[in-house]
Structure formats: structure tokens, C-alpha cells
Structure 1
């Protein structure tokens, strides 16, 4: 696109569609109760914010993750906005934000306009049939917050039906249930690239404490 030449290179990640590793989540019938619960989660829109018991831990997390993501997304404002949304939506869905970061790395390489050969869209490579089942036609899967909300809600659903078996849930997410390549890639990215231990915090007058 000619217009991209007029913008900083740090913003190019949001402009150019790119192929993605993703397979194809399978379109399956949802029970009325499940569809209602997922729809409620998708429609409950709040401004993303960091969710930590201690704000200092949140800032330490944001600084560390921002440093790790800098080569992929040079613009600090874009990085911090993305990371805040990831952490918020992951925690909201009961997921480890570090897992979600690993999944996004594998699925889209942090390109919010990535499109797979199967038609999956955005950061978390959500298939376009999902808005029909749990959202509305107005939901744009290339929108950062919308895509993260869908992706985290869908992964939570797969974890629930697989009774917490992450390997199988990831297989369902990618449409490759029963094969190891995709779960291994996501868990490898999670543990090798995004694993994080909260810093020790010092309370006035006391010995350092480890944040939860």
C-alpha cells in the first residue's frame, strides 16, 4: 500500500495482512447454555487495564513484556496498549497471559491483520463463523480488543470441554486435535519466550516478599 510509506515503520505491523500458521477451528454446534455464556462474555465490554493485586507488579510485568516485544513492535505506545489488552482479556477469561502471548506469537506473529489460509483472522486467528454463534455481524475480528476477547473466550471454552487438558484444548483451537505440532509450538513459545516470575516486593519495615 502506498499509504504505508507515509507512516512510521513501527506502525506497519497493523497495516499489511500476512499469512498465519493457524489451522482452522472447527465449526461445531454449541448448546444454548454455552452459547449464552460465551455471548455474555463477548458483549461485556470494558476498557482494558492491567489486573494485578499490586500495581508495582503490573508495571514490572508491562516493562518486561514490552522489552521482549520491542523487536516485533517498535512503537512503545502500540506495544503497551496491546500488552495491557492481552493481560486484561486473558485474566478475564481465567487464562495465563503468558500462555496467550505464546499463542499469539505462533498464530499471527503479533500481526493484528494476519489472515490464515483457512480464513482465520487477527492476533488470535479467530475463524469468521464465531460472530454468528456468539456475537454479532458488527464485530470486527481485526479490532485488537475484539479479537483478543473472542480468542480468550474460545480458548477458555475449549479448556472447559477438555477438563483443563491444555494440550487437547490447543489442538481444538488450531483445528488440529490429536496432533502434537501446534500445542508443542505454543507451549514452547510460552515457556521459552514469555515465562515470567513476579519480582520480590519490599514492604516498609519488613523483609522482601514475593508477589503473588
Structure 2
């Protein structure tokens, strides 16, 4: 993948916070889900598909991340976490754009950290107090698994799952922001945004 990274760099140069669930059962279910699923994975099975996706997304990410090598490493980490959590990587990119504008050191008023704005209490909840939420791989693993949990809970309904992710159940303000980011900057394949 190192030579692919060099090729991609050359081609690229040419071309609100997660709320703690109020319901004790939901909180325990999410805690258990996170504990069971936080892990790393290499998500690209086909080299050609990897190169096409990375070059395409790298060009789109330029507005947020100037360094082409960091951009590609970031995209690899986002893709891996998204695929591991059975999420469209483009949806995760839209969430990150809305949550932090790709600032790994972002901290919300509520204390959520990193690109996906994960609340630090989750580290203690799953027995991993030493995890660093400003490390992208860690942040993406938590954020993607939390979003996966809420998508499963809401039977794939994106607006409702995103509202839960953001802690704004009953409102579509946050999910509409994610939808706009996805449709303007990250869309590749259709996603079902209907209720």
C-alpha cells in the first residue's frame, strides 16, 4: 500500500456532541455494543477500488485538509472504520465535516472530542479509560460504532439515527446539515434519506 500511497499523492497533487442516552437500557446496550466492536480493520480488498476511491475523496477533502499525505492516511482510516461498522464512508465524511470540519483536536462545549465529537465518558463505560479520542483511528472507531448502533436501533432511518448520534432526538436540524454536507461534498452512491 506504500507505493499506492505515493501514486495517490502524485495523482492528488495533479487533480454538536454525542449525547449520553437518557434511557438506562439504551445506555447499557450502546456501552456493550462499543465494548464488543471497537477494533481496527483494513477495509480495501481491491487495489483498484482503493485507488479510485482515495483519489476521488482526496480531491474533495482538499478544502479541509491541505497536506496530501495526511489526507490519504485520514481517508484510509475513515474508510476502514466505516466499513468495519457497515457504514457508507461518504456518510462518515459528512458527519465529520459537520461535527469538526476535520479538526482532530476539536472539543465541543459539552466536552465531546475529536473529528467525530465523541463524549469521553464512553471510554470509562467500556473499560478503556486510556483511549485517546484525539487519535483519529480511535475516534473513528468509537464514532462509527455509535452511529452504527443508532442506525440499527432506528432500522436504517438516517435522519432519526443522526439525531440520536447528535443528541437532538425529535429535530432534523443536525441531520439536515449532514445531508447537505453529504449531497454537496461526499455523495457517490444514493443513500435513503426518506423517513
- Root mean square deviation, CA, Å: 1.8
Asked whether the equivalents of residues 26 and 172 of structure 1 are also in contact (C-alpha less than 8 Å), the reply is no
Select the residue among 30, 36, 44 that pairs with 2:32.
36
| Contact 1:23–1:176 under 8 Å retained in 2 | no
Alignment partner of 2:162 out of 152, 161, 170: 170
- Aligned equivalent of 2:42: 49
Which residue does the alignment assign to 1:134? 126
| 2:20 equivalent in structure 1 | 26
After superposition, the Cα gap between the structure-2 partners of 1:61 and 1:41, relative to the gap in structure 1 and judged at 3 Å, is same
Distance (whole Å) between structure 1 residues aligned to residue 84 and residue 59 of structure 2: 24
TM-score, normalization by structure 2? 0.82
Q: 1:117 to 1:82 in 2, by over 3 A?
A: same
CA deviation after TM superposition for structure 1 residue 27, in Å: 3.8
Tell me how far 1:127 sits from its aligned partner: 0.8
The structure-2 alpha-carbon separation of the partners of 1:51 and 1:30, relative to structure 1 and needing over 3 Å to count, comes to farther
Q: What's the secondary structure of 2:164's corresponding residue?
A: helix
Alpha-carbon distance, 1:34 to partner:
5.3
Which protein is richer in helix relative to its size? 2
Match of residue 154, structure 1, among 126, 146, 156: 146
Tell which structure's C-alpha radius of gyration is larger.
1
- Give me the whole-angstrom Cα distance separating, in 1, the residues matched to 2:25 and 2:71: 35
Structure 1: tracts of 5 or more residues without a match = 1-21, 198-212
Counterpart pick for 1:70 among 45, 50, 62: 62
Please state how far the C-alpha of 1:104 moved relative to its aligned partner: 0.3
